[in-house]
Structure 1
Amino acid sequence: MSNEVGGNSQVRNLVQARAIHGDVNFHVASAATEELAGPVPGLPRELRRLFGRAAEVAEARGRLEDGDAEGAAAVVVTGPPGIGKSAVALHLARLVAPAYPDGQFHVDLSLAAESGRPADLVQALLDVLRPGGGALHDAPAGRLAQLRADLGDKRVLLLIDDVVDEGALLDVLQLDGPFAVVCTSRARLSGLTGLVHLIELGRLPDRHGEDLVRAVAGPDRLTDVQVSTLTEACAGHPLALHIAAAHLARRPKADVDRYLEDITDPDHGVHALRAGQRALEPVLERSFAALDPAQAEVFTTLGILPYMSVTEDLVDAVLLHDQQDEDHTSQVQTAAELLDALFEFCLIEQIDEDRYVFHEVLYRFARRKSAEITGERRMNVIRNACLMMSLRTRAAAESIGFMDEAATVPAQANTEVLRELEADRPGAVALTELAREHEVWEPLVHLAGQLTGLLWNGGHWTDLSRVHQCLHDAGTSSGAADWTMTALHNLALAAGQLGDSARAVELFQQCAEVAYESGDPQRMHFAELSAGTLLLNVGRPGDAIPSLRNGLRFWRLSEDTRTLGTRLVGPRSGLSRPGPDSPGRAVHAQQPQSL
């Protein structure tokens, strides 16, 4: 057999070359090889069916089979770790193999890397194209010339796993010849956009994820509900789905629901995804190891936060820069560049111009990595996150404007502001719960104060209840009666809006008791007024009148004509959210209280 590509078309032998550049397969294909009718010895075998990638494969296949025979065709498959890049690339390569009769070759550069340095792509390809050995030039330019000679007139297919160097791949693509390249990369290789056909893999759609689970676990191991729950728990991540389904398939007595709880645990879920000697965590670790220290710090620090979208200013705040080192604009720019680097490495998703979010599986991994950050640094990250979110909420709320003096025609810019507030809301609410967990009280109070009006006006009663439960715990833990009373009042309002009138009355009464013990008669009578108003609205006047009458003398002496008028005229509406024409706006006892 010749050292050169091509040779006798009848040769069917598989030559495996284990050089210092990795585990490489060489094959000179027979002209009689049929698509999918037999094996393609030069390429790895597909061990399982591919799910949910038909559209991506079909488009790339057309480019490889119908491309210009005078130039190289290239497809690059990118995506997060474990998302199925190698499976897609292999499936595609095997489909188009008959179109490249001079040979198919597979190189895994992850096996070729030495001491953490990227493999030399050109030398790795020369090793596989010349399996019998032979002298190679010492200089990179000389080796590139040798590769040009080997590929110049041969219609061969190169399947390359784990390309990390755009420049090295570009050197290969610039060579003349009818060869084709299908490769995978953990990075997006954005610099090659327009020069190669890029396939960016994301999460599997639910239907295809469920098909994968059933194919691995078997048709009877899981109920339909459990299959759906498992698919959701793994957020369409193919490797996570495969490992979870395999674990359950081999353990028919295992409690499925308990296992589902284990793999969704935010602290240990990634570690629980293992089946035999196959595990998800080492795959994620390899991608994490490719980050530089600053990028790794961002990734790890974001694991401290709850699962939420993050913006550049928020990331800048939690990185705890020394404010004297550089100006704020420069710091935010640095945070933006670090986020973009994580995006380029497919470790975070960009969902808006200035907003990023982890894939759920990657978030659990980041949270696990963040366990090493303890003590004061962890507390400062939480503190700064709460304060920055408070500033964002306040700035957005203050920027809401109107086109007229009567404030009846909203400004067009409000749409964008409200969209930002809504995007921030889930994370802001979750941050109050994180602050409560770590007893970071003052920032929690600041954030709760900014969120109250937003949640009230948006009708987010469950979120309002979550925030003020945190504020209530802050008040009772620190002995701050003002915090406790405000929380109880707003918890009562939320309970009433959610239809639990009995709970709302109970909370108003608790608020009155705390106010009485604190020597705050105004808050006490205000809470009684709120309870009485609610009791009237639910048709319990006999219970309402004593509460309403009790504070009458106080409101007269305090000359609070608005509240006094409310008592004398009576409530005019229930606990509906007040709007521009709602009579409920006159019943200020039913308005939220802020700090």
Structure 2
Amino acid sequence: MVSRRPADDPGEMRRELAQQLNHLLFDRERRQGRGVDRAELARRTNVSRSSVYAYLNGTTLPPTSVLDQLLTALDAGGEARRRLSTLRDEIEVAQQRGPRGAEAAVPRQLPCVTERFTGRDAQLARLAALLEDPGGVTTTIAAIDGAPGVGKTTLALWWAHRVKERYPDGQLHIDLRGFDPEGPLDPGEALHRFLHALGAAPESIPDGLDEKSALYRTLLAGRRTLVVLDDARSSDQVRPLLPGTRHSLVIVTSRDRLDGLVVREGAHRVTVPVLPRAEARELLRRWLGPARVAAETGAADELIDLCAGLPLALCVVVARAADRPDWRLAALASRLREAPDRLGALGEGSLDLDPRTVFRASYALLPERAARLFRLIGPYPDVDAHACRALLGAGGPPAAELDALTRANLLTEGALGRFSAHDLLREFARELAGGDPAEERGKATERLLDHYLGTAVRAARALEPCREADLPPAVPDRPGPPLRDRPEAMAWFAAEMPALQAAMRQAAAEGFDRHVWGLAWAATVFLRRSGRRAERVALHRIGLEAALRAGDRAVQATSMRLLGDGLTRLGRQDEALPLLRTSLAECSAIGDARGVFQAHLSLTRLHDSLGDLPEALGQAERALRASTAVGDLLARADGLTHVTKQRERLGRHEEALPLGRRALALYRRLGYAEGEADALRCLGRIERRLNRPEQAIALFERSLELDRLLGDRFWTAHVLRDLAAAHEAAGNPALGRTYRAEAAAMFEAMGQPLADPARAGAEDEAS
């Protein structure tokens, strides 16, 4: 049978289909020698008799499944089945496209976008790169995710407007309301709206989701269309709305990471962070004008910080400032800083602008344990999986909870498996935590503090294995990172320092004083080696306050000494001296021999830094005598080293040399690398003073090797400067300049430029 294929007229095409169905019916009747009962045909196809007549008359198009059953009942061959199924699909498309000669609808649905859009250069570059591959065989999908209020929709619409001319066959847009309190938009409803926009008559749109999706893909086949799906709840909500050909671009925004869309449909994820400071400043300039921002750069930066770089919050604040040109930005920052409810102040009572409302929509969808973890991490700038395990009291790392939080973009996973949230989300978390029972919060805090203190003590042992006696008492052992060697211990402290500081503040606020001073003690070696002098003083101030509250005289004396050591290195000897004298007096009064010894060492360093060399030598000699009462070889070696240094400083080099060699031998016997490096530096200086630069260079090079192995930036810088002087004395000025420049760069990086070379020796002795 030859098909008379009418071009685009749905009515003629239905009649053609009906004619061919009737031919099949007549052939069946001729072969079996009797008529076909229409009621039996209706029963076999599971439709009414009136429907069968409508199909055979060409007034109604049978659904695909019914046509298949009808062709089976009529014994249609393979060729006839293929021909009639194709014709049926062409009729359906023709019905959606309207009568013959009508042009397909071209929707232009993109909403307007703000002219104040700025920044996002990295994300725009990533999006632009998606369109550079002409060889793709499927729809390009850009999945833009990020935290609530971070500007995903603005970025998506901005880019959509930039590229829309590439898609002349239409631009579709819909708000999927994924996190609306009333629930997300049903994908079937979204498809209905799209089909209507593409010209489909309402009465011809099928009811089933799969059928709607198939028709949608059919209508978009071969068309270059841009589809923007805003605020998706999940991959399942998005999947039915995806075209099926490579000619289209789909931009999806969501607070969820849409992992399913990335894995199964090959979507390209583009994560939107809070605005970097430079881009946030440009946003302020767009709203307020360059002159107004330039006149109060400090206040502008404070506004950015108070808004945590979150575009939603920033736009609320700058819109307020733009409406009040006579207001100073400093006054606006002060008002926001002092507001008892910063989240409420940012929202100004408008639900769609209130960060609290926006955040809550994502938080409400979390599983219970993930929601609990979110509430508990509020006080901490970032945490790792071990800390989260301690907070929850879990038997293992809470992978599912962390995945739920990162998938919802309420937490961001950074490098090395650390998890963080911006300040406004953390404030929201702390507010939520206030509704939990105080006992439950206290237990979580104690578990976390036990974890931090126990791990910090283990890390400190890895840094200085010989100084167990200087560490705080043991705490309950909780699972943590392995910390197998010095580099791992240094890396742990470096990564955790912001969290440790936050934990100490939280511990102080909740009365866990033992953890406060214990963490300060345990972090001392790391802070010293990394040259973090200001942080060291800040931590030991908090530690001393906690020790004073605790009421233990020995703990108080040690905390005073540690703070005094930090102040000495910071150049604030006038504050350090009374602390060290009080520490010495307390240790003497309670019979703490080790405390007496260490206080004399601290006073040695302080007086040396003041240039009072006779007093420094006197304190060092007292320390050496006190080491006998301590009763260990390490104390003896430390005492010998300090006396050696002071005699060298006073020019008594021949007297100093044998003491330094004895100290070096003891350190090597103990396997104490830091002490060995210290003794080598001291001996190297003596050799240089005795005009033996080659011997000095050999000693300094070994000391440098050890300091670098230890990760001690402070002493590495000092020995580099010593090497420079030794090479200059040996007649190698070029090599001397190289070492001196490297030393200067390290001092500068630590915030400790040595402007006065005459003070170099004194500064070397700072603890």
Question: Shared topology, TM-score over 0.5?
Answer: yes
How far off is 1:488 after superposition? 0.2
Deviation track 1:469-511 (CA, whole Å, cap 9, x = no partner) reads: 2232222212111111110010110010001111111111222
The match for 1:476 is: 548
Question: Aligned AA for 1:391?
Answer: G
| Length-normalised TM-score, structure 2 | 0.61
Aligned to 1:246: 319
**Residue in structure 2 matched with residue 100 of structure 1 by the alignment:** 167
Q: Of 437, 457, 465, which aligns to 1:394?
A: 457
Change (3 A) 1:534 1:442: closer
Equivalent in the alignment of 2:274? 203
Would you say the 8 A contact 2:227–2:250 is kept in 1?
yes
Q: CA offset at residue 298 of structure 1? A: 1.3
Per-residue CA deviation, residues 159-216 of structure 1 (Å, 9 max, x unaligned), is 2111222134334436458443222111121233361233222233433221111111
Local SS of the residue matching 1:346: coil
Structure-1 separation of matches of 2:578 and 2:259:
59
What are the superposed Cα offsets for residues 519-548 of structure 1, whole Å, 9 maximum, x if unpaired?
657745753564365325523468779978
Q: 2: CA distance between counterparts of 1:378 and 1:474?
A: 20
Q: Does 1:355 align with 2:418?
A: yes
Partner deviation per Cα, 1:310-347 (whole Å, 9 max, x = no partner): 111110101134xxxxxx3xx22xx1221122122222
Does the CA contact (< 8 Å) of 1:244 and 1:273 recur in 2?
A: yes
Residue 294 of structure 1 is matched in structure 2 by: 369
AA of the residue aligned to 2:555: W
User: Which residue in 2 is equivalent to 1:78?
Assistant: 145
RMSD between aligned residues? 4.2
> Against the structure 1 CA distance between its residues 374 and 579, is the aligned structure 2 distance closer, same or farther, given a 3 Å change threshold?
farther
Q: Pick which of 470-479 and 560-569 moved more.
A: 560-569
TM-score normalised according to structure 1 size:
0.77
Match of 1:310 among 376, 383, 404: 383
Question: What's the secondary structure of 2:275's corresponding residue?
Answer: coil
Letter in 2 for 1:160: L
Output the CA distance in 2 between the equivalents of 1:9 and 1:261.
66
5 Å-filtered alignment, 1:201-280, equals 201-222=272-293, 223-260=296-333, 263=336, 268-274=341-347, 277=350, 278-280=353-355
Counterpart pick for 2:678 among 579, 582, 585:
582
- In the alignment, is the contact (CA less than 8 A) between 2:146 and 2:409 conserved in 1? yes
Q: Higher mean Cα deviation, 86-95 or 163-172?
A: 163-172
Partner of 2:112: 45
Tell me how far apart the structure 2 counterparts of residues 92 and 188 of structure 1 sit (CA, whole Å). Answer: 20
Change (3 A) 1:201 1:571: same
The match for 1:189 is: 258
Please tell me whether the aligned partners of residues 77 and 85 of structure 1 are also in contact (alpha carbons under 8 angstroms): yes
Q: Number of aligned pairs?
A: 540
1:183 partner letter: V
CA distance 1:3–1:397, change in 2 (3 Å):
farther
Q: 1:421 aligns with which of 493, 497, 519?
A: 493
Give the one of 385, 398, 418 matched to 2:448.
385
Q: Do the aligned partners of 1:127 and 1:133 also contact (CA within 8 Å) in 2?
A: no
443-452 or 500-509, which deviates more: 443-452
185-194 or 522-531, larger mean C-alpha shift: 522-531
For residue 129 of structure 1, the aligned residue among 192, 195, 219 is 195
Contact kept, 8 Å, 1:79 with 1:186, in 2: the verdict is yes
Is 1:28 aligned with 2:106? yes
Structure 1 residues 345, 517: closer, same or farther in 2, change over 3 A? same
CA distance in 1, matches of 2:620, 2:122: 68
**Structure 2 counterpart of 1:207, one-letter code:** A
- In 1, Cα distance between the equivalents of 2:630 and 2:495? 43
User: Cα–Cα, structure 1 residues 210 and 3, in superposed 2: closer, same or farther, change >3 Å?
Assistant: farther
Q: Distance in 2 between matches of 1:297 and 1:112?
A: 20
Amino acid at match of 1:274: G
The answer as to whether partners of 1:244 and 1:274 remain within 8 angstroms in 2 is no
Deviations 1:556-582 (A, max 9, x none): 8888994886898784589xx976432
C-alpha change, 1:48 and 1:262, in structure 2 (3 Å) is same
Q: Which of these two proteins has the greater Rg computed from alpha carbons?
A: 2
SS of match in other structure, 2:147: coil
Aligned with 1:535: secondary structure?
Answer: helix
The aligned residue for residue 582 of structure 2 is 510
In structure 1, distance between residues paired with 2:498 and 2:228:
43
Secondary structure at the counterpart of residue 203 of structure 1: coil
Pair 1:501-2:501 in alignment? no
Where structure 1 has 5 or more consecutive residues not aligned to the other structure, the ranges are 13-26, 30-39, 322-327, 403-410
Q: 1:337 aligns with which of 382, 400, 405?
A: 400
Which digits, 9 at most, give the CA deviation of each residue in 1:16-50, with x for residues without a partner? xxxxxxxxxxx835xxxxxxxxxx5x221112232
> For residues 630 and 158 of structure 2, what CA distance do their matches in structure 1 show?
80
| Partner residue in 1 for 2:435 | 372
Cα separation, 1, equivalents of 2:573 and 2:246:
77
Matches within 5 A, 1:41-190: 42-54=109-121, 56-57=123-124, 60=127, 63=130, 71-110=138-177, 115-116=182-183, 118-130=184-196, 133-134=202-203, 136-152=205-221, 154-173=223-242, 175-176=244-245, 178-190=247-259
Cα 1:354–1:522 shift into 2, 3 Å: closer
Given the superposition, is the C-alpha separation of residues 96 and 464 from structure 1 closer, same or farther in structure 2, using an over 3 Å criterion? Answer: closer
The whole-number CA distance in structure 2 between the counterparts of 1:112 and 1:537 is 62
For 1:452 and 1:418, how far apart are their aligned partners in 2?
12
Change (3 A) 1:67 1:541: closer
Give the partner amino acid of 2:568: G
C-alpha contact (below 8 Å) 1:6/1:154 kept by paired residues: no
Query: Cα distance 1:154–1:8, how it changes in 2: closer, same or farther (>3 A)?
Result: farther
Q: Distance in 1 between matches of 2:269 and 2:97?
A: 27
2:517·2:547 contact (CA, 8 Å) conserved in 1?
no
Gaps of 5+ in 2: 1-93, 466-482, 650-672, 684-764
The residue correspondences of 1:550-589 to structure 2 (distance < 5 A) are 562=636, 571=646, 580-583=676-679
- 1:283 corresponds to: 358
Partner SS for 2:227:
strand
Indicate how the Cα distance of structure 1 residues 77 and 6 shifts in structure 2: closer, same or farther if over 3 A, else same. farther
For 1:175 and 1:566, the matched residues in 2 are separated by 77
SS of the aligned residue for 1:372 comes to coil
| Structure 1 residues 382-419: Cα deviation after superposition (integer angstroms, max 9, x where no partner) | 222121112323344455699xxxxxxxx996444432
- In structure 2, do the counterparts of structure 1 residues 528 and 181 end up closer, same or farther at CA, with 3 Å as the change threshold? closer
Q: 2:644 touches 2:682 (CA, 8 Å); kept in 1? A: no
Q: Deviations over 1:365-391 (max 9, x none)?
A: 323333323522222222221211123
- Identity %, equivalent residues: 25
Higher-RCO chain (CA-CA 8 Å, sequence separation at least 6): 1
For 2:292 and 2:448, the matched residues in 1 are separated by 44
Residues 229-283 of structure 1 deviation map (CA, whole Å, 9 limit, x = unaligned): 4345445432232222222222345453354356568984433323573333322
Go from structure 1 to structure 2 and tell me whether the alpha carbon gap of 1:517 and 1:149 turns closer, same or farther (over 3 Å shift): same
Give deviations 1:84-105, integer Å, cap 9, x for gaps: 1111211222233333333322
Is contact 1:218–1:249 with CA below 8 Å preserved after alignment? Answer: no
